Chain A
Amino acid sequence: MELRPILSTLRRHKVTACLLILEIALTCAIVCNAVFLIGQRLQRMDMPSGIAEHELVQIQLGHIGKSPDAKAQTETDLAALRQIAGVRQVGVVEELPFSYGGSSNSGLMLDPHQQQPTVNVSQYMGQNILPTLGVRLVAGRDFGPGEYVDLDTAMAALKTGDTKGLPQTMIVTRALAERMWPGKDPLGQTAYVGKDIALRVIGVVASLARPNMLRMGPQYSVMWPIHMTLADGASYVLRTAPQDREAVIKAAVAKLKQLDPNRVVVTKRTYDEARREFFASDRAMAGILVGVIVALLTVTALGIVGLASFWVGQRRRTIGVRRALGATRGDILRYFQTENFLLATFGIVLGMALAYGINLFLMTHYELPRLPGIYFPVGALALWAIGQLAVLGPALRAAAVPPVVATRSV
């Protein structure tokens, strides 16, 4: 197809052509970045937690009035919960991966005299965590019963500075081990927290995400052998078959209330619910972005239809003359399609530069990574396709202009 006549026509409609190019460029730039943002959100929502997500339920209770001996109560509760039909494992956990609320974090150091901690980690405390959550051990072992200390004892020990009451061992994630001791066997290595508390690594798990503060490294978690009770703010976590979860929640709550009616249920939910709640805003944002992309492409398509129709109307006579001089319907159709393709291409080239600029802005203000090159063709293809589809209607109408128009004056 000869491009020169198209270009010379466009030169006679500079303003309109420029507007169309600008619109396509803006749409292309926003669509590129929006698709990228959606990708980021989906990636975040898809992060592995490292636990048996679909098999867990969480129950948290609060005590009204004078609480009895929390430790004895916890033992009684755990024994009763284990008896419930369908319950495979029962544990006490302070927090779960990807959940709002607090988290306990500390700075881990390689050397007790370090000025700045090497890495900030979240610690999981409680009993029977590994089997209950279904975290996969890849090296070493789980805590032995002799390694656990009570939380009260640990707190008292911290106050007096007596290291005997503190835990001596910990389990780390593989990601953390690689960060702390790259290329070395993490088992048996020692890390320090607080002023000078030494903890020896006895086990490595494949993956265990931290509860929140994911910016500090989503997989930087450790487990400490510390016994918790509900009075410390911990929850009971029960592992069961996915289809039994609701029944287990009901039975467990009934059982716990029967053991001590003086308690209020603060939380009872499946882990799936907890995770959904944590990522709700990401899901909403992804939805909004999809909506924006659809709306933008629609508006741009309608704009193309509008302008193309105007041009077709304006050029009816010219088209008639061309038809009379021997141009086929296909020629006219291709003319308008090529014209649109050219405009879209100009727009896309400008749009790429704009997309890059918007990405730079987002990088400085929203801690986003650089826009990978793969997203540029996405925007380009979307706009070429939309442009061709939008121009098809007016172009077909142009092709239908009969040659006889040339012979009529107005």
Chain B
Amino acid sequence: MFGYYLDLALHSLTRNKVLGALMVLAIAVGIGACMTTLTVLHVLSGDPLPGKSGKLYYPQIDPQDARGMMPGTLAPEQVTLIDGMNLLRAKRADRQALMAGGAVPIQPGSSSLDPFYVEARYTSADFFAMFDTPFLYGRGWTGADDEAHARDVVITRQLNDKVFDGADSTGRSLRLGGITFRVVGVLDSWRPNPHFYDLTTGSYNYYEQAFLPLQTALELHFAKNGSNDCWGNGTGGVEGNAYPSATCVWLQFWVELDSAAKAAAYRQFLVHNSEEQKALGRFQRAPNVQLRNLMQWLDYNRVVPGDVRLQAWLAFGFLLVCLVNTVGLMLAKFLRRSGELSVRRALGASRRALFAQLLTESGVIGIAGGAGGLLLSLFGLWMVRHRASDYASLAHLDPAMLLVTFALAIGASLLAGILPAWRACHVAPALQLKSH
């Protein structure tokens, strides 16, 4: 029976080409717009570390002075160097890493390459294990290397290709800002998006190419990137010249806690730590502690740009108009065929059969519209990729979104078909037949 309905639907679509094309086009344009924006939204709000993100937490404490203190004041979004080092050395979490962004000049050994700057991350030993970074060669450095201010560096595959022609470079030396470092590891392609561990350097499409121990970088006065917030007479410092003063927060501190119980215990530890610091006179405020996990942290920071959300709303509004339009056109189309439908009724087809036939027809329109919408959203994403935004290059359709496209198209067209089909199959057959 379904095959017959399909046949009828195709026949009917080709009989009135203009109306059929209008309906397919309306669905296609609406779906295309929706899927383009939804894909961008999906890519940007994705989990950068699936499977691991639930165990990663971003502790916040409040070392600010008493001035301007109000109940409910938010804790700073980064930590001071002193607090960061204290928390790092306390080792109260399963893993912990303190970090800051920066830029280092690379002087390749071969004279054919000019010196160039790369983005760098100054961090501590646990960074690699905590974020599950894939290693192509070698490994990260150790906690002992951190304390010894070792001249160790982990580079990315991209930098390794450029400087060492892709060879296993572990153990070889690399000059950074006039200092000789030893390459201890090469990361395979690792590009978490959003750049969750430090949102101050840009949320998307920001990749470091060199990772070195934080204490080494501080000792060598390597330039820092990112933002800082100061209070009292604190100054943010200047890149490459001085680091922010003690009353500034400018580092990110991450911990890995394997269970909810450990997370609760760690929160307690943070409160105790704040109380202790207050007793010592370093902190002036009552403990103001936050412990958000990775996805909560991204949410809190509203990493998905407002424009992207707005575009998604716009696209849904547009799809709604397209749907209302399709409902109207389908109604016109089905009612125009009242005569034909009455004949079928008179010949014994039940209302349900007619309804099924008409819905099949709207489903066919949905599939055609979905195919058109897919092409349009591929085109839309291509346009997004050519825009000048930091997330542009991430806009690609994945298999999940491909399925969503067709589901949305068919669902939408069936929804649009219900009212017209219901109206059309309730036409009184006798009246229609008589009038003809």
A residues near B, CB below 8 A? 15-16, 19-20, 22-23, 26-27, 30, 34, 37, 62-66, 70, 102, 104, 115-117, 151-152, 155, 158-159, 161, 194-195, 197, 228, 231-233, 262, 264, 266, 277, 280-281, 284-285, 288-289, 292, 295-296, 299-300, 302-303, 306-307, 310, 313-314, 358, 362, 365-366, 410
Query: Can you offer 27 A-B residue contacts whose CB atoms are under 8 A?
Result: A15-B423, A19-B324, A19-B328, A23-B321, A26-B321, A65-B105, A65-B177, A102-B227, A115-B67, A151-B238, A158-B235, A195-B233, A231-B240, A264-B105, A264-B116, A266-B117, A285-B307, A292-B318, A295-B33, A296-B321, A299-B29, A299-B30, A302-B25, A306-B329, A310-B335, A314-B336, A358-B317
Q: Complex Cα distance A115/B242, Å?
A: 29
Contact partner of A310 among B33, B239, B336, CB < 8 A?
Answer: B336
Smallest CB–CB gap between A290 and chain B, Å?
A: 12
The answer to the question of B80 belonging to the interface, with a C-beta cut-off of 8 Å to chain A, is: no
A98 to nearest B CB, angstroms?
15
Contact of A281 among B29, B232, B389 (CB under 8 A): B389
**Once the chains bind, are A303 and B325 in contact (CB under 8 Å)?**
yes
B336 near A410: Cβ-Cβ < 8 Å: no
Given A115-B67, A299-B322, are A19 and B327 neighbors across the interface (CB < 8 Å)? yes
Q: Which residues of A contact B333 (CB under 8 A)?
A: 310
**With A23-B324, A115-B68, A285-B307 given, is the CB distance from A264 to B423 under 8 Å?**
no
Q: 3 closest Cβ contacts across the A-B interface?
A: A65-B178, A310-B332, A303-B325
Residue of A nearest to B307 (CB): A285
CA distance in complex: A73, B436 (Å) = 97
The residues of B that contact A23 with a CB separation of less than 8 Å are: 321, 324-325, 328
Are B310 and A366 in touch, CB under 8 angstroms?
yes
Residues of B in contact with A, size category: 35 or more
Q: Kindly state the separation between the CA atoms of A52 and B380 in the bound complex, as whole angstroms.
A: 37
Contact with A along B332-356 (1 / 0, CB 8 A): 1101100000000000000000000
A306, closest chain B residue (CB): B329
B311 at the interface (CB under 8 A from A): yes
Which residues from 1 to 57 on chain B have a C-beta closer than 8 Å to any C-beta of chain A? 19, 22, 25-26, 29-30, 33
Docked-complex contact A300 and B68, CB < 8 angstroms: no
Interface residues of B (CB under 8 A from A): 19, 22, 25-26, 29-30, 33, 67-68, 103, 105, 107, 114-117, 177-178, 223, 227, 232-242, 245, 305-307, 309-311, 314, 317-318, 320-322, 324-325, 327-329, 331-333, 335-336, 387-389, 419, 423, 436
Chain A residues within 8 Å of B436, by CB: 410
Residue of B nearest to A291 (CB): B33
Q: What 20 new A-B contacts, CB under 8 Å, besides A22-B324, A64-B105, A280-B388? A: A16-B328, A27-B321, A30-B321, A64-B115, A66-B178, A104-B236, A116-B68, A117-B68, A155-B242, A158-B235, A195-B233, A264-B116, A280-B387, A285-B310, A288-B314, A299-B322, A306-B328, A310-B335, A313-B336, A362-B310
Most buried by A among B105, B310, B324, B423: B324
